[in-house]
Homo-oligomer: A and B are copies of this chain.
Amino acid sequence: MSLEREVTRIVGEEWVITGQERELFSYPAFLPLKVTPPLVVLPGSEEEVIEIVKLFKSKRTKYLIRGAGTSLSGSTTPTQGEVVISLNRLNKVFYTQGLEITVGPGIANLHIGKFIDSDVFYAPDPSSYVVSSIGGNISHDSGGMHTPKYGTTFNSVVSLRVLLPDGSVEDLNGRNLDPLPLFVGSEGTLGIILRATLRLFPKPGISRTLLAAFDNVEDAGKAVVEIYKVGVTPASLEFMDKPSIIAVENTQYKANYPEAEAILLIELDGNSIQVEEEMRRSKLAISKCNGRFYEPTSEEEKTRWWIGRKGAFPSFAYYSPSYLTLDANVPRSSLPKILEFTYAIGRKYSLPVANCFHAGDGTLHPLIGFNSEDRENTINAIKAAEEITYYALTLGGVPSGEHGIGIEKLKFMPVYYSSEDIEVMRRIKESFDPEFILNPCKLIPPKEKECIAVGEIHKHLMEVD
């Protein structure tokens, strides 16, 4: 029986995509590389996923798992002819009580909020939270604006039910030699998340917003360090440079920020006495770094400021139809240096560059504009991105703070890790997926001839000569 007929038998005709619509699954939010999968299958239950995986195992069929397709590093582009298993339909809420909720991997981050008590909240909020799936968030250990105080997705995962490539189902809790911490951030290379139990935090008593405006990026960078030095742990600490502000002010996300070369948007939360004290200290820190501070005069203004920040990425369309978003993570003290570097690189390649990011944890998000219909322009954007990532590494940074390695940063793995380190990663991968049929040729640098390069851009990304 053909593979198509067999998966149809498992999930029903309606949930197997073979025609033109497959192209919708040819790439995630990372745009430079599109590869149409031979087949897309959308199982509707854990049992169906298990049956599909067992079938693929018996036939040695390569496959990859897809959530909402918001990956910025290409982790769901099926470069090796993989069948795509989309988990969108596995979006059930199984259980919620107190500070925990158990959900399927396909549920959107935003929707968690609809199923929990009003006095608790789910902390991780990547920019894509309106659509991105919990399975994808876990697989990329996604961060977001709440990272400085509440940590990344890792800190909000209590336990996982996973399906391994051999067809066995495991309940992971991270104790002893249990591999839960490996699954978080493994970019879908070790197994399939069937169910996740997530930690909820009690909503803070109050939260207040403070905006700091600076005449140059150096002062803004210094203020980030100073705020921590005076003992404040902000719930959010977001940075926007002038190009980001201009973009926002020229789109529907218009926020009416004060005139500045760079701004910090700060959220403080906790009980009222504590927030009052953190407010006082933050203002002192901002003044010390030559900043001006502003408090919103109305609830409406506060909301507008945050919508502006959340709209900074889509606003980048003001400069360019497509953009790459880097996420090198550097020590907070290096922020001024790398910002200057990103502008210089933008000038070098004549590409628009803006910086808008989570300053609290040092995760940089330089945006580099390009036109994905123009081959040379696309290659230039990739080269610009690579120069910035290399520079971040020389400052003691890491290649990826939260978007993942995927295809985009494969070539930085051997720069950052030793060959022995990578060998250990391969052995771990092998111990879960001995035949490399699950999401191959991502995250771990492939050996020679192990992977096919599909076209010039992929070749460049893999550095296969």
Residues of A within 8 A of B (CB): 164, 168-179, 181-182, 185-186, 189-190, 202, 205, 231, 271, 273-274, 277, 398, 400, 405, 413, 417-418, 420-421, 423-425, 427-432, 443-444
Task: Determine the chain B residues whose CB is within 8 A of the CB of A271 once the complex forms.
Answer: 231, 277
Contact B421 A170 (CB under 8 A): yes
Residue of B nearest to A151 (CB): B155
**With A273-B277, A274-B274, A421-B172 known to touch, is A205 a contact of B179 (CB < 8 Å)?**
no
Complex-state Cα separation, A231 to B206, whole angstroms: 12
Contact A444 B177 (CB under 8 A): yes
Q: Which of B169, B173, B425 contacts A176 (CB 8 A)?
A: B425
Contact B179 A185 (CB under 8 A): no
Q: Which of B164, B173, B185, B429 contacts A424 (CB 8 A)?
A: B164
Complex-state Cα separation, A189 to B176, whole angstroms: 11
Complex-state Cα separation, A425 to B185, whole angstroms: 19
Complex-state Cα separation, A444 to B202, whole angstroms: 37
Contact A182 B175 (CB under 8 A): no
Complex-state Cα separation, A342 to B310, whole angstroms: 53
- For the complex of A and B, the 8 pairs showing the least CB-CB separation, nearest first, are A181-B181, A177-B425, A427-B431, A168-B420, A431-B431, A273-B277, A274-B274, A170-B421
Q: Which of B175, B231, B274, B421 contacts A178 (CB 8 A)?
A: B421
Complex-state Cα separation, A185 to B273, whole angstroms: 38
Give 30 CB contacts A-B under 8 Å: A164-B420, A169-B420, A171-B421, A172-B421, A174-B181, A175-B400, A176-B186, A176-B405, A176-B413, A176-B417, A176-B425, A177-B186, A177-B190, A177-B428, A177-B429, A177-B443, A178-B421, A178-B424, A179-B182, A179-B428, A181-B181, A182-B182, A202-B231, A273-B273, A273-B277, A424-B431, A427-B431, A427-B432, A428-B431, A430-B431
